Structure 1
Amino acid sequence: MVFDRERCKGCELCVTVCPRKILTLSPGLNSLGFHPAMITDASRCTGCCFCALMCPDVVITVLREEGENAARADEG
């Protein structure tokens, strides 16, 4: 999962929609003065893309790995 930290305005929509509750706002600020979203435990991400779909500013890109991790994500 990749966040465009400089474009994120910290609206928390991605945080509220994450079924695994692994997103939060960063304690640090971006250049716009917002706390950008960040992932707390990437190993628990299933790649569902709910966060990316919910983001009004399209600052989240979800990348899926091939192999074992992809099979695990499809099960979850």
Structure 2
Amino acid sequence: MTRGSIRIDRERCKGCGLCFRACPFSVIGPDSSMNRSGTCPAAVLRPESCTGCASCYQVCPDCAITVYREDGSHS
């Protein structure tokens, strides 16, 4: 299975939840703490399950997610 990882910019994320629903492996969920804008951003909850599929990246309206794949490339 392909391995990947994601980074979420907490301050850019508005917590819309689109990435939660787009992730086929439930890697992302809501953070329990607020960012400076007063919203609970997305958080990486299960990093070991990330395949780098970039579904979360594709649906993020805030461009708050960066995806890294095992080969070192990123989206």
- Structure with bigger strand share is 2
> Which structure carries more relative contact order (alpha carbon 8 Å, separation 6+)?
2
Provide the residue aligned with 2:19 in structure 1: 14
Provide the residue aligned with 2:40 in structure 1: 35
Gaps of 5+ in 1: 67-76
Deviation at 1:21, TM superposition (A): 1.3
RMSD (Å), alpha carbons: 1.3
| Identity within the alignment, % | 44
Distance 1:62 1:22 in 2: 12
| TM-score in terms of structure 2 length | 0.84
- SS of 2:68's equivalent? coil
How many residue pairs match? The answer is 67
Aligned structure 1 segments of 4 or more residues deviating by more than 6 angstroms: none
